[in-house]
Amino acid sequence: MAFLPHGRDDVKNMLQKIGVDRFEDLLSNIPDILKGDVSLDLPGPLSELDIQMEMQSLLEKNTACHQVISFLGGGAYDHFIPKVVDFILSRPEFATAYTPYQAEVSQGTLQVMYEFQSLICELTDMNASNASMYDGATAMVEAAIMAKNIKRKSDIVISSAVHPLYRKTLETYADALGIQLIDCPLNGLICDLSKLSECITDNTAAVIIQSPNFFGCIEDTGSAAQISHDHNALFIQGVDPISLAILKTPGEVDADIVFGEGQSLGNHLNFGGPYLGLFASKQAYVRKMPGRISGMTEDVDGTRGYVLTLQTREQHIRRAKATSNICSNEALCALAATVYLALMGQSGLRQVAELCIQKAHYLYKKICELDGFNAVSNDPFFKEFVIKTPIPASDIIQKAQKRAIFAGIDLGMFFSERDHELLIAVTEKRSKEQMDTFVDFLSSLV
């Protein structure tokens, strides 16, 4: 049995065995600019009470959404989460569960994955779903790779209204995989479908359109799907899962592959993560689907059981034939989404969606009545909208923080020409009083 070395001579001998003199030599491939002079500046030993006080002081440096009036969005939303969701997530059989390699001892975990897949299929009106991806961005990337493998073509047409961070993620993968990305321009704040046909070539594998898109606007996905199919390309739709309670589903518009960010389904904002990616497709493409898929079966005695099936992942024996190198799912986040969807049901989810759209349009109308604040376009929107501002949006955000308001997202962060545009999200949690307070604040700026 091998043991780790304990003394300096042991460490020296170990380093010599692998051909280096110092531990730092192992880090030679890391650029100096990234290493720098890193100092953890850790305090000395503390008592339990002192540690609690120290951690509390560090936590208080952050500002959480429950402490302010938040209109932040852009893919992460402040929705109401019933307490029972967190209670179930905290149960040790879920919180401490690991990869279900042995199905016979992982029936609970596998059933949760299966129930999650079933709910996502019902929500999107698609035939098959996997047990989640890392997040919305990687789900979109996997959809593009899946389309490339299905069609054996390398071009992907993507709307310029798709989330810019998702697009950056896809660009990173595309460079290594030989995928050519073709942008479809905008008409207002939605994809210009009159130009879509011109963007599609004989080498196009798929068209990607997100609806509601990054600007919150609702796209004509039915027409986009028809144009894609007329040119022998797959149609990939990005979704906000809450919106599917009132908008046409991807299945209804004949989408081939669906992706989305699942954070809004029972997951807290968590300062940016972890989140989960939603992924579904038509039955015809299920064998090309990435990640984990849980299946329901029966044992020799006819007893219902659950297994991992079609797990064409890089970790398994036939890894050379893996559909993807994505190696896991976000099981605990997917559990939160499963509990949330089961609790809300069809009517509850529809009520949340209706509250979002009603409140968003109320605030939109109020802001547009202010001098200097104008609508950027007349495109229909769900719970997010863009406002043209009389002063830089970044200035508004900074001033609003002093009034305990998160005003939204400065679009100048992503598009330099949009530095006077503010992306504002409204969920069911925002009250009329909070929205009126925000309007009063904006009016004070002019």
Model confidence, pTM: 0.88
Pairing assessment for the beta strands 405-406 and 69-70 based on DSSP bridges: parallel
Give the per-residue pLDDT at 21: 85
The region, left, alpha or beta by phi > 0 then psi within -120 to 50, assigned to residue 424 is beta
Compute the distance between CA of residue 141 and CA of residue 329 in angstroms, rounded to an integer: 15
Distance CA 220, CA 211 (A): 8
Structure-token pair, residue 179: 């995928």
128, containing H or E segment: strand 128-129
CA neighbours closer than 13 Å in the CB half-sphere of residue 223: 11
Round to whole Å and give the CA distance between 241 and 356. 13
Among 35-44, 48-57, 325-334, 367-376, where is mean pLDDT lowest?
35-44
Q: Tell the residue number behind the tokens 């008409």, with chain if given.
A: 187
65-99 exposure pattern, b = at least 16 Cβ within 10 A, e = fewer: beebbbbbbbbbbbbebeeebeebbeeeebeebee
Confidence check: pLDDT of 3 > 80: no
The answer to whether residue 159 scores a pLDDT higher than 70 is yes
- Helices in 125-220 by DSSP H: which ranges? 136-151, 164-177, 193-199
Q: Compare 144 and 64 and report the one with higher pLDDT.
A: 144
Strand arrangement of the beta sheet that strand 409-410 belongs to: 374-375, 384-388, 421-425, 409-410
Using CA of residue 93, residue 99, residue 102, residue 107, what is the dihedral sign? positive
Read off the pLDDT of residues 71-83 as tens digits, 9 standing for 90 and up: 999 999 999 999 9
Strand partners, 295: 307
Q: What is the pLDDT of residue 7?
A: 59
pLDDT of 297-345, one tens digit each? 998 999 999 998 876 554 555 666 777 878 778 999 999 999 999 999 9
The 10s digit of each residue's pLDDT in 242-286 is 999 999 999 999 999 999 999 999 999 998 889 999 999 999 999
Three-state DSSP at 99 gives coil
DSSP-assigned letter for residue 247: S
The whole-angstrom distance between residue 368's C-alpha and the CA centroid of its chain comes to 30
User: pLDDT at residue 400 above 90?
Assistant: yes
Q: All domains of the chain, ordered by start, with CATH?
A: 65-81+345-444 (3.90.1150.10), 83-340 (3.40.640.10)
Q: Provide the pLDDT for residue 238.
A: 98
Residue 317 pLDDT: 52
Residue 22 phi, psi dihedral angles, 5° rounding: -130, 155
